Amino acid sequence: MKSFIWSVCFMCSVSSLFGQDVSSFGQKENYNIRGGIQLGYNFYESIGATQARFAPSGYSISANANVQIGAINIPFNVHFTQLSGSISSPFNLYGASPYYKWIKVHLGNRSLTFSPYVYAGRNFNGVGLELTPGKFRMTAFQGKLRNLLAVSDSVVGGALVLPNYDRKIQGVKLDFGNHTSFFEIMGVRVKDEYLDNIESFTSPQENLVLGTALSLKFFKRVVFQMNVGGSIFTGDQNARRPEDLTQVVSGFDDFHTINATSRFSFAGDATLGYHYKKVRFDVKYRRVNPFYYSLATNFIQNDIENYTFNGNLSLLKSKLRLRGSFGVQNDNLSNHKSFTSFRTIGSASVTYFPNEKFNLMINYSNYQHENQSGLVAVNDTFKILTVTNNFIINGNYKWFKNDHYESSVSMNVFSNNVVDDTDFRTFNNSFSGRGFSVSLPFTIKQYELTLSPIFNVNQYDFSTYDTKRTSIGLTVTKPFFSKKLSVSVNGMFGNNTFNDLNNGTNANASLNLRYRPNKKHQVGMRLFFFDNQNITNPSVTEFRGNIIYGFILK
């Protein structure tokens, strides 16, 4: 029975990543084959480089096909070069979510979302079921997660996947209500299981997370929302269990392993808001206690508490949109640290679209960015925590547009500041940057000719040095032969400084040609030139290009 289930899972896992209505099996237009093949030749030459970045010459062969059988899409991808070759593995990369009315089945590589504190979208390879007959809904799944701890230190030893345990996951969620008012309860269990004849360098972990979510709407305008999670995390299933703890948790062994490495913690948030048409105001409280972990979600920073006020307002018939958030943040919730940090956090954005000729966007944020999945297990001294302040202005104005000419100006201004908050000064990455760019595309409609000059300045200040680059460039594009042939030429020249001293120049140019006589055939050629005359580092000049032929099957 088990082999039969996995066989069905394999057959369906080659589907596209989107759910498909199984009723489409009866539609003739849903049975077809699409794809193509591409042949390429590459060449490369460098002068002055200590080590070439590419092979002097080489070839590439790529082919792809998508076979559609009703609701099932089966993609195949093949890629070969003079150095290597690969064939896609649909079972590892794809899955299917066929559905019929209120019944949906998940097979293969899938992703679900329960709660930011319980299970937040990590891919699993397994099976799942969603039932949504009405106000009462149920979701259940089980499968295998990728164990992120099975990656060695990429700084010291290079990226290497090491043998590790199978990380199994099971989850269930019950939901009652509609999209504005609902109540959910959910739970996820993650457990490492032994593999035969494999010695892992990490300890087998286990995690049980239970949570609830609530949303209520009062008086058609007042909204209350809440997310709460409770996590029991065991760092080592094989660790010793104290005798006094055995008596307390003896009946809990069927659900979770509890020993000296186990930690229990809470996390959650609550929001009270006023929503009326295009006006939204919210007050939000968020707290993640120390030692809170969930192996079923990406990295969650614990030992942190936020109080924020959020607003969203549309004015002038939605031509002006204001959005912002302001609050305070602190840590050391259990008073175990030697000091407590406080800081103001916030973001703001202004978008103005008065007409089709002009648009302006202004964004600012100083939130701490959390974008880490798992841990580096071999040497955790390389983990760096940063706080970033960003300020960006984007604007575009169409000077004129008539039957003969069209022109506009685009502007981008940025300023950012990255603060390295790690205790290891050797890896200090603090810096500040600022710059702007201006582009002036101009089109002569009679000749279908577009000229796009650009000018930009970028400067970055580090703790021990600063760099600056001033560049000017031009892009020219034009189609020929009823747009069957398109030509694009690009050139850029820049001057560099290091600590306010001249640091040489850099120049690059490219030529792109694409000829498409019909819908099935395409020939292209790309030529690149790059020259960097540097004072602080070795200078280098490179020539690179490729020629491709593509055939499209429809």
411-437 pLDDT per residue, tens:
999 998 876 554 444 445 677 899 999
CA 148 to chain centre: 16
The span from the CA of 277 to the CA of 270, in Å, is 22
The full length of the chain comes to 554
Other CB atoms within 10 Å distance of the CB of residue 316: 10
pLDDT of residue 142 exceeding 60: yes
- Summarize pLDDT for 100-135 with one digit per residue, the tens: 889 999 988 888 989 999 998 888 999 999 999 989
pLDDT of residue 364 exceeding 50: yes
Res. 331 pLDDT band, cuts 50 70 90 = confident
Q: Which of 67-71, 245-249, 525-529 comes out lowest in average pLDDT? A: 245-249
Residue 252 φ then ψ, to 5°: -105, -5
Which distant-in-sequence residues (6+ apart) come within 8 Å of 13 by Cβ?
Answer: 90, 91, 94, 95, 96, 107, 108, 109
